[in-house]
A and B are shown apart, each in its own frame.
Chain A
Amino acid sequence: MVNFKKNSLAPISALKYLFKKPHTVRYPKEDLNVFYLKGVSPRYRGLHTNDLSKCIGCGSCAKVCPANAIMMVESKDVKPANKFAKTVRPVIDYGRCCFCGQCVDVCPTRSLQMSREYIHSFHPKLSTSSEKEPETVVEDFIWRPDQTHADNPGYVRT
């Protein structure tokens, strides 16, 4: 690094890149395969999954959330695991969630986990009037995690 003069053959050494494999990840066709799983990291903090039978509705995930994104909502289609368990289940507002994983760390029954799924986008329809559009957008990003992505677990509490 001492001399700052570039020797005249340096540009020729750049020709070796012609025969090297490009390190671009052509996303829709091929996926990131750096880890032992294809795609994102095996510990990725993506969209939540929640085992509704194991969850006792204690609400500590809602209390610990720094973005105030989790709401405990009464759910009819779930029966309490034992005498003390409640029937409220966490509902996550992805317009607030910062994907920090603190709710997963504090869940006593390890029912709330994070999957490796992360794709979700929403296009507000042209028909919705401007006044109602913010509400419909917020509406679309609030849902109750259940076992849909449970086959692809990412950030779980060990």
Chain B
Amino acid sequence: MLKHVEKLRGMGLEANPLKDWEFEVSVPKERVAEVLSYLKSTGFKAFIHLACVDWIDEGEFELVYNLESYEDALQAVVKTRIPRNNPTMESMISIWGLCQVYEREVHEFFGIEFVGNPNLKPFFLENWMDIPPLRKDFNTLVYSEELFEFKEDETHGIKAPKRIEHK
């Protein structure tokens, strides 16, 4: 495992082990395709998932590619940062055809444009006209109170409705 970490540090990337079989690499945006295809060539053939974290204070999205190598039982977490206003990212479909589905989901929940992905149509949500829901500035309680017409307050229950008598 340390052989991989040293190799990646040799390529000028910042890599550190998380556990004895998992390490993470943070990669600038342009070198993601290069690092992913390099890892795929050295045994990380299984693409596990693509996650996206919305760092709203730093104004950035963080894309997390997770790969797994079955030969030497390792887990590689490749992270990259992309700017938050009109975020675009090149699609990794050429390396793994599987990314098409994960990128379509991240596009719908965060609004990231994946250049090269043939099919970014709506996936889970039907006629959604608001900002992508998993962004930090989307308030789900205000949305559901508006849409489903019920009133709820945020203080987790410390309030005194007047009309209750015990049964």
| Binary B-proximity of A48-80 (CB < 8 A = 1, otherwise 0) | 000000000001001101001111111100000
Q: Which listed residue (B152, B157, B161) contacts A62, Cβ 8 A? A: B157
Q: Is B166 a contact of A72 with CB atoms below 8 Å?
A: no
Those of B108-158 within 8 Å (CB) of chain A? 152, 156-158
Interface size on A, residues (CB 8 A): 18
Which of A21-29, A108-116, A140-148 lies at the interface with chain B?
A140-148
Q: Is A91 a contact of B158 with CB atoms below 8 Å?
A: no
Residue of B nearest to A92 (CB): B157
Q: Is B167 a contact of A72 with CB atoms below 8 Å?
A: no
Q: Which listed residue (B157, B161, B164) contacts A63, Cβ 8 A? A: B157
For A74, what are the chain B residues with a Cβ–Cβ distance below 8 Å?
160
Q: Which listed residue (B156, B160, B164, B167) contacts A68, Cβ 8 A? A: B156
For B156, what are the chain A residues with a Cβ–Cβ distance below 8 Å?
62-63, 65, 68
Q: Is A71 a contact of B166 with CB atoms below 8 Å?
A: no
Q: Is B157 a contact of A71 with CB atoms below 8 Å?
A: yes
Q: Output the least CB separation between A112 and chain B (Å).
A: 13
Does B19 belong to the interface (CB within 8 Å)?
Answer: no
Those of A92-133 within 8 Å (CB) of chain B? none
**Chain B interface (Cβ within 8 Å of chain A)?**
152, 156-161, 164, 166-167
